[in-house]
Amino acid sequence: MITFVRPAGQAEYPSDTADRQNRLRHTATGLAWTLIFAYVVAELVTATAWRTAYSFRYDTISDLGVTACTPSVCSPLHLVMNATFVALGLITIIGAMGFRDYLPHGLRQWSIVALAVVIGLSTAATAMFLSNDGVVVHFLAVLPAFVSRHIVLILLTVWLWKQRRLVAVWSAFCAATGITGTVLLAIGLQVGITERLVFYPLPTWMAVTGTAIALTPLRIRARQRIRSRTATATLTSN
């Protein structure tokens, strides 16, 4: 089986007590990132409650969080969407701190963490500086996350290419998807779809990666049991 991710310089989680805290931290952080899958549910629930028909093709994600109603835009469950933006921002920051030892140490590690903090704060700011309160202010609030998400995925692709090829390829795919969405959004093609092509890759990357890391201890225990049974069977047969 391919190991999706593991801490830098560490082949596998050792079983001694000294590393139990790291195992628990990585598992807890991985589980936190799996909660990002709930973001899609929050979007669907909020969109369903719209007074008018919400269009995933032509309406923006930010429209789900507006607090004022117009004839074409009215989101009664805006609190759900805005709370989700804040939660996603916090989980982004917590995950980057919790998983920092999976990254190359030194400047590269803290560059990723710093960018993740920028993304997290900017994502949370989406819920505080709403589009109905001023388009320019809202744009300035979301712009850092809009730009930094691509930089993070590109840096992960480059820096992890030799050490963790599978993670690097996964990062490259997400980066390419996001950049393609950015180009299509700039052209003006179906803003609802293209905006999600820009926004979704990084949360998807985090959710899938978090799930893989959270399941790592279970996979290792299963492998250890298989080895133990194999060794027992070999001794018995001899």
Q: Which range is least confidently modeled, 12-16, 88-92, 223-227?
A: 12-16
The pLDDT-based confidence of 225 (bands split at 50, 70, 90) is low
Tokens 């139990």 sit on residue: 20
Q: What is the pTM of this model?
A: 0.83
Q: Which two tokens stand for residue 161?
A: 């290419």
- If one counts every other C-beta atom within 10 angstroms of the C-beta of residue 59, the result is 20
What pLDDT was estimated at residue 18?
A: 47
- Asked if the model's pLDDT at residue 2 lies above 50, the reply is no
Helix axis angle for 38-48 and 78-98, nearest 10°, is: 170
What pLDDT was estimated at residue 25?
A: 81
Q: Which residues of 24-38 are buried (b: 16+ CB within 10 A; e: fewer)?
A: eebbebbebbbebee
% of the chain beyond a pLDDT of 90: 57
Distance between CA atoms of 238 and 229, rounded to whole angstroms?
14
What's the mean pLDDT in 156-164? 88
What pLDDT was estimated at residue 111?
A: 92
Higher pLDDT, 234 or 134: 134
What pLDDT was estimated at residue 215?
A: 82
Q: Which two tokens stand for residue 88?
A: 């996603």
What pLDDT was estimated at residue 179?
A: 96
What's the mean pLDDT in 106-120? 92
Q: Which range is least confidently modeled, 16-25, 72-81, 107-116, 139-148?
A: 16-25
